Amino acid sequence: MATQSKAQFLTDVYTLLRRRYKPKGEQDSARLSVLKAVVYGICHEDTTRENANQALSRFKDGYFDWNEVRVSDIDEIRESLAGIPDPEERAKRIRKFLRQLFNRTYGFNLDALVKKPLKEALKVLQTYEAFASDYVTATVIQQALGGHAIPVDHETHRALERLGITEATIPELRAVLERAVPKNRGAEFLDLIEDLANDTCVAVDPDCPRCELRKICPYALARKEQDAAARSAAKTRPSKEREKEIEPPSPAHAHEPGPSPTASPKKSSPPRTAKEPPPVKPSPRGKQGSK
Ligand code: SF4
């Protein structure tokens, strides 16, 4: 898909999704601090923003400050990540980031980076292990540094892939999205794709008939064609089965007496079993609709 047509397609996706998932007014336009954006990114990847926001609230309410989180057991930090997949792994990443930050700066404030040019700020941040994740990097650019970034995790990637927006790597896919979706829509576009991925475009058996994008989504259109082909195959099957019913008699009948004593001797041998048609191959229909 050319860049221009991708941009138009993604505009259509945005417009249609906006109809269904109306802006909830929950989006806090205020930026996060760089530190909070890192923790938010770690918490948000492959789960909902509600879960990530709840985790941030628990850190705020359950700890005196980030230093207390830094010196806490992994099991304690995990409790703040209730409802989020892989809480232990995420707790380790959060604590490791806080430890790296403290060891380098003796504090928990990275907000001086906000005043630096984006590239310069990223150069500093990418020395922290947490930034090995492209999702965390993009979240910090979007939520704290004021840049244009659209973080892509497995959930949003799945929905975009079904919509035909694919690239070899996540950073490449992100670059395509960031060119096609204007900055002032970036955060909302991401929220809408996330809503889609958690509502109808789920991992197993997407609910295309209920999806607002079913008329423009290549996956849904292909699925519809397959279903139509399967229905048409199902309609023709009974007549084939009827044909089968009037096929030559089974081997048991081959030994019955011939129809007429005047019949040629050739007709009585060899037995009919030698001329039976090969077994009917299984219908290809079983494979259809498996997508
Ligand atoms: S139509 Fe189906 S596959 Fe396409 S985005 Fe919607 S739920 Fe996903």
Cβ–Cβ under 8 Å, residues 164 and 1: yes
- pLDDT, one tens digit per residue, over 197-223 is 999 999 999 999 999 999 999 999 999
State the DSSP H helix or E strand holding residue 217, giving kind and residue range, or none if neither. Answer: none
The residues, any chain, with a CB within 8 Å of residue 253's CB and separated by 6 or more, are 272
Nearest residue to 35 (alpha-carbon basis) of 112, 148, 133: 112
For a pocket test of ligand 1, which of 13, 158, 162, 223 has the largest count of ligand atoms closer than 8 A to its C-beta?
162
What is the best residue among 214, 216, 224, 291 to mutate for testing ligand 1's pocket, by most ligand atoms within 8 Å of CB?
Answer: 214
Residue 202: in which H helix or E strand, if any? none
Q: Across residues 13-41, what is the average pLDDT? A: 86
Q: Would you say the CB of residue 180 lies under 6 angstroms from ligand 1?
A: no
Angle at 181 between CA 176 and CA 185, to 5 degrees: 145
Convert the pLDDT of each residue in 66-121 to its tens digit.
999 999 999 999 999 999 999 999 999 999 999 999 999 999 999 999 999 999 99
Question: Cα–Cα–Cα angle for 132, 177, 54, nearest 5°?
Answer: 60
Any atom of ligand 1 within 6 Å of the Cβ of 156: no
Number of separate helices (H) and strands (E) present in the chain: 13, 0
Domain ranges of the chain: 3-210
Best of 194, 201, 227 to mutate for ligand 1, by most ligand atoms within 8 A of CB? 201
Residue 232 has a pLDDT of: 86
- Say yes or no: CB of residue 43 within 6 Å of ligand 1: no
> Which class in CATH covers the domain with range 3-210?
mainly alpha
